[in-house]
Amino acid sequence: MTEDWQSDRAEPLAVGPPRRRMTRRERAREERQRRRRRTAAVAAVAMLVVVAVVAVFLGSKMWHSLFGGSSSDYAGEGVNDVVIQVHDGDSTTAIAQTLHDKNVVATVKSFVDAADGNTAISAIQPGFYKVRTEIPAADAVERLADPASRVGKLVIPEGRQLDDVRDVKTNAVTEGILSLISNSTCVDLDGDRRCVSADDLKGVASAGTPAELALPEWATVAVDGMGSDHRRLEGLIAPGTWNIDPSAPPQQILSTLIAASAAQYEQSGLLTTATALNMSPYQILTVASLVQREAKPQDFSKVARVIYNRLAERRTLEFDSTVNYPLDRIEVATTDGDRGQATPWNTYVRPGLPATPICSPGAPALVAAEQPAAGDWLYFVTIDMQGTTLFTREYEQHLANIELARQNGVLDSAR
């Protein structure tokens, strides 16, 4: 009975307002919306496909770059000469990446594999190297390991000045810093020899602003005071071994050297010493340049003390090295006419220090200027060919020392 009752039960009827039939305009609007939704869906799918393809392409390219593929190495003699830089601390992989970025090797992995166990590559010095584009990785390793491939290496000896100088006795010419820089920029690229000329460097030294030349703040006033004289940069490029980008313009070359030199000078304690001596860092650098030119290393600290003693007593320094500096010559003796010339450097007529350093002093001369020996000396003279130098405070004793120098055939002027 119960089952029959359930089967005969009427289904409930839906309640609510009767469904209204859409107008033709409403049906058209709904159809447009459906088309827009379909179009948006298709566009989204297409975008996902494009993203996936690009990701696969880039991933494949990176994979082949790092780990190789069907063409994991170049063959042949290469296409063009190119200069690459090895930075301080670069690993073999970092060098390989630089080579790959410059299109020298086909993949990073090919170079890393070719360089494996090569002691020359593991010990490679920072600097610039000439190689060729699109060469086998083994060839790239061989070229970088060859010392002849290194370019842009600049060596500045202690005591050099910006300009070339001539020895009066022998007529031998000693190249100045500007010539040394110029030589270091020379490189042959595909048979074309390129150099930054010393004249171009001199032009930048004369006209560059303090910001363009990366001048340290402690040198700016003195440099500006020299106007457009290129020798305003004297002493601001430290001696030592530097790496020069042969492709860089003159302004960049000079500013890079000046900035690195200033950092080197400051690391030696120049700023602290200047404060302790109540002098400017630029003045200390100038004293060091005089020490470099006037003395043998064993007497550096004593000559520094003579300089400070004479300055303290407001005596002129009367150094022949300052007379010869603007004359671009090497000469022990000077004439009355030479010593009478009114130049910004002549310490016979100019009180105090010369307007600029007269050379690039080395670390020992700079240390001597920062840490002079204790003593009351005012005079010194070299008395023999072995370089023996006598120091005294008494002028009469100094005259006797000069006579001894003359008897020994040493042509050195009184101080």
Do 206 and 251 fall within a single domain?
A: yes
The pLDDT value given to residue 411 = 57
In a domain? residue 230: yes
Give 231's contacts (C-beta < 8 A, 6+ positions apart): 162, 163, 326, 356
**What are the residues whose beta carbons fall under 8 Å from the beta carbon of 285, sequence distance 6 or more?**
235, 265, 270, 357, 361, 366, 369
In a shared domain, residues 230 and 333 = no
171 within domain boundaries: yes
C-alpha distances (whole Å) from 153 to each of 148, 184, 232 are 11, 6, 25
Are residues 195 and 242 located together in one domain of the fold?
yes
Tell me which residue range forms the domain holding 307. Answer: 276-408
Task: Out of 129, 151, 173, pick the residue that ends a domain.
Answer: 151
Residues 301 and 380 both lie in one domain: yes
Distance CA 97, CA 65 (A): 9
361/318 same-domain check: yes
| Structural domain includes residue 291 | yes
Q: What is the pLDDT of residue 60?
A: 47
Answer yes or no: do 116 and 165 share one domain: no
The whole-number pLDDT of residue 20 equals 55
335 & 391 share domain: yes
- Shared domain check, 312 and 228: no
pTM: 0.79
Which one of 266, 292, 326 terminates a domain? 266
| Rounded distance between C-alpha atoms, residue 151 and residue 372, angstroms | 39
Domain count, the chain: 3
**Which CATH number fits the domain that encloses residue 118?**
3.30.1490.480
Last residue within a domain, chosen from 243, 266, 289: 266
Q: Do 393 and 341 share a structural domain?
A: yes
Query: Do 100 and 173 belong to one domain?
Result: no
Closest CA to 316 of 349, 273, 359, 278: 349
**Do 147 and 158 fall into the same domain?**
no
For tokens 């370019």, name the residue: 151
Tokens of 32: 């447009």
Task: Look at residue 375 and tell me if it is in a domain.
Answer: yes
120: in domain: yes
Is residue 166 located within the same domain as residue 284?
Answer: no
CB 310 within 8 A of CB 317: yes
pLDDT beneath 70, residues of the chain: 1-22, 24-31, 39-46, 49-71, 332, 411-415
Q: Which two tokens stand for residue 210?
A: 């303090």
Helix (H) or strand (E) holding 166: strand 165-167
